Chains A and B, each alone.
Chain A
């Protein structure tokens, strides 16, 4: 595990969209006690995640799986007395992890699906059957070419698939 000087990693986070408020944290634990995920698993604790980040534990934060466990309910962000945008900080950390190639398989599947079919989840037989039951029209294929142009313009494709052999 590499340890970075805490401030360098902190500055990297605060310079990113969503990460600006991380230094406000005074470790009161409001986020942890309001978090529905922390209630179900000991693997995830937003207070501890922020603490690790502020102490410069870059690898543990960006290579571990905890940042991906946040359910984005924003309870923590609503209640944080220091106005730390906890959920947004976690998004910033996820973006940093992706840029370094640390993408969980499920997210890679989403990205691949988006590039190939224009959808996060593929159109399945089950889904079509359900739609018919509810009287909804069948889904049309998305305009993949147009989407690819947009995603290329944002740099999405390069960021997600920069690892060799990962390209769809």
Chain B
């Protein structure tokens, strides 16, 4: 192994921090540390001439470990790493520390103490640097093709974007026709245009004259690279990001899409009639059918549950293009894709569980989707809202909001779009039938989107009545076949009995039935309400914690059409960005397992937030953990969890942690007892940064040791700190539910609790150890915690270790 030569570069930030820290003393101190062959002082090292100094030192002085004391450590780290890499040194042999915000500023009132602390910080960085090892880059091949699951608005938009960008796209839809929920919704708010209208692909816009068309004439099916698989579902997902193998099961359609000319002869001869689910069972259709009038693919399908097949086969006889094949079988297709987009949408909740509304019992109580079918001019009632019980037009219509949503008994969340759906349907009815008596019973009307409030205004202008109050019961009067809605008008404080021909329930929107199964297959999470969970709601709303798998549209939460489109385009961009280079390049800052030590306990596979660890047979009848290099995010939660120390991070080895603990606590220089703060690299370290940036004061006896995530901390690290001279230990991590690695902060808390019990058993006061959950804007709280901890430890007196 080549000799370690450390170069130390001390920035005094344009002379600013030299007014506090004694740079001459620091330089002299650093020179005495074994392994250091070069010390340079300058005003900044992360750019310009300063950075060139580092590059020159690497090139000419053969420096092979670089320690930089610089403000803005994150930016400096990146800049210095890039520069040394260009100079031929592995970029991971760089250690950056911040003498300004972590030392000079917070301890400016005690410059001597600050200088002593700076020595300890430099020593820790040098000792760690000496132990750093090169980390190489790995390349994983990525197939430039994408699977989109779900053929509603979200799926179609994402598929179109990606196909336009040149990716091979597979769009899988479980129903025989594209369109999803939207295909049944007639019109959309706030544009009031047809629900079935979509954006035409860019290459075909010229051919189709305008850029927007009904799905079936948009040219959607003609997009090069786009393969549409209807009547299909995902049954198996294997492989890893960039290279998934997905098995898709296609149910037989019995009609060849390429031959069918949609002439309707087959439905004329078909003798089997069943209730049409597409039309909310308000009309009948044949066993061979097409959802009329606008669908893709424009080809019939046979309902296998209803068809008599060879007993009848009349359709086969009349079909002029011989498109029908009654012997078609279910087939499986295996797709090789680099990325997967989940766009499975949402569905209406079945409100029959809410007994007081008698849905399913009184046929004149319907849901919005059922009403939408009535309001479709091509629908079963030709656009007239009727009483399903007797087929008569409904003149008095009452809408009930928040049915099964905002209800802790069923779905506690607000479904977000039902207010607008009610306003849309109420105005559609008023427009067509101005004499209709339309009342909306609401708890709150929520019109938060662009132009939504105008919709509400228009409904009031048109004479829609609004009653603030949630009905407690719907009663049926058999004598008049009328429904009576019992509700308190809260603003009048009067009990009302509203007579209605038709009651429309604005039911909750819930995840699709197969969401759970699909999430399991894909290895991604659902939220508490059963919707697909994003990686981070604020910043990564289409990503999941599994690389290469994205989510969008109503599968994530109920959405209106504009928001669904936005979300779908975002997912498409993310998938494209992931695959555009045809390979995934990543620094191997990952966990590695020492197979000889691994005790096959299963702790780490279960704990890993990314599903990156599996148990593999060792060949001797035992198993050992194995880390997937592509899935591992390098957080180290597994390291903190392993009971035998069989896993370590390549970018933070146990020896490096120990060396830093010892170094940070080897020099005190203050009159106060030493306190060591382990902080995560994310929010915890940001809080330490911000306390310094904002010139908060805390005593110099508090030393900070940065780890990737507090989840990496083991009980033994804490004990080691006490043994090395710490009188108190702080663990500073992200908020428990805001951990950048999901569970790290919670795991650290458990470790702290466990260590406290151990300390007690050893006769050491457990309050010498505390966990803090801080974020960037809580720098003041870090300073406060550092002060309080110091005072507490001072009060407890010196720690006596046997």
Of B274-282, B310-318, B403-411, B664-672, the one touching chain A:
B403-411
A contact set with B: CB distance below 8 Å: 24, 26-34, 38-39, 42, 45, 47-48, 75, 79, 81-83
Of B482-490, B608-616, B705-713, B717-725, the one touching chain A:
B482-490
Q: Which of B356, B402, B406, B495 contacts A32 (CB 8 A)?
A: B495
* Min CB gap B399→A, angstroms: 15
B241 interface hit (Cβ, 8 Å): no
* Min CB gap A84→B, angstroms: 9
Contacts of A79 in B (CB 8 A): 356, 472
A48 & B493 in contact (Cβ 8 Å cutoff): yes
Q: List 23 A-B contacts (CB under 8 A).
A: A24-B408, A26-B406, A26-B444, A28-B402, A28-B443, A28-B469, A28-B470, A29-B469, A29-B470, A29-B490, A32-B490, A33-B470, A33-B471, A33-B472, A33-B487, A33-B488, A33-B495, A34-B356, A38-B495, A48-B493, A79-B356, A81-B409, A82-B408
CA distance A107 to B490 in the complex (A): 31
CA distance A29 to B402 in the complex (A): 13
B778 interface hit (Cβ, 8 Å): no
B493 & A45 in contact (Cβ 8 Å cutoff): yes
Number of A-B pairs whose CB atoms are under 8 Å? 61
CA distance A83 to B473 in the complex (A): 17
* Min CB gap A34→B, angstroms: 3
CA distance A42 to B494 in the complex (A): 9
Q: Is the interface of B mostly helix, strand, loop or mixed?
A: loop
* Min CB gap A60→B, angstroms: 15
A81 & B490 in contact (Cβ 8 Å cutoff): no
B493 & A33 in contact (Cβ 8 Å cutoff): no
Residue of B nearest to A28 (CB): B470
CA distance A146 to B537 in the complex (A): 63
Contacts of A75 in B (CB 8 A): 472
A30 & B408 in contact (Cβ 8 Å cutoff): no
Contacts of A47 in B (CB 8 A): 488, 490
* Min CB gap B510→A, angstroms: 16
Contacts of A42 in B (CB 8 A): 493
Contacts of A32 in B (CB 8 A): 469, 488, 490, 495
A33 & B409 in contact (Cβ 8 Å cutoff): no
**Interface range, B side:** 20 to 34
A81 & B406 in contact (Cβ 8 Å cutoff): yes
- Excluding A34-B356, A38-B495, A81-B407, 19 further A-B contacts by CB distance (< 8 Å) are A27-B443, A28-B402, A28-B443, A28-B469, A28-B470, A29-B469, A29-B490, A30-B470, A30-B471, A32-B495, A33-B470, A33-B471, A33-B486, A42-B493, A45-B493, A75-B472, A79-B356, A82-B407, A83-B408
Contacts of A38 in B (CB 8 A): 488, 495
Proximity string of chain B (555-590) to chain A, C-beta cutoff 8 Å, 1 when within and 0 when not: 000000000000000000000000000000000000
Residues in B465-510 with C-beta less than 8 Å from chain A = 468-473, 486-488, 490, 493, 495-496
- Pick from B408, B472, B473, B495 the residue with the most CB of A within 10 Å: B472
Contacts of A45 in B (CB 8 A): 488, 493
B contact set with A: CB distance below 8 Å: 356, 402, 406-409, 443-444, 468-473, 486-488, 490, 493, 495-496
* Min CB gap B502→A, angstroms: 20
CA distance A147 to B402 in the complex (A): 49
Contacts of B473 in A (CB 8 A): 33-34
- Pick from A24, A48, A79, A83 the residue with the most CB of B within 10 Å: A79
CA distance A34 to B471 in the complex (A): 8
Residue of B nearest to A75 (CB): B472
Contacts of A26 in B (CB 8 A): 406, 443-444
B472 & A34 in contact (Cβ 8 Å cutoff): yes
Residue of A nearest to B497 (CB): A33
B490 & A27 in contact (Cβ 8 Å cutoff): yes
Residue of B nearest to A81 (CB): B407
CA distance A24 to B408 in the complex (A): 9
The 4 closest A-B pairs by CB, nearest first: A34-B472, A28-B470, A81-B407, A29-B469
Contacts of B472 in A (CB 8 A): 30-31, 33-34, 75, 79
Contacts of A30 in B (CB 8 A): 470-472
Residue of B nearest to A82 (CB): B408
* Min CB gap A134→B, angstroms: 37
Q: Which of B407, B486, B493 contacts A34 (CB 8 A)?
A: B486
* Min CB gap A83→B, angstroms: 4
* Min CB gap B400→A, angstroms: 11
CA distance A32 to B486 in the complex (A): 10
Contacts of A83 in B (CB 8 A): 408-409
A81 & B486 in contact (Cβ 8 Å cutoff): no
CA distance A42 to B495 in the complex (A): 10
CA distance A32 to B407 in the complex (A): 17
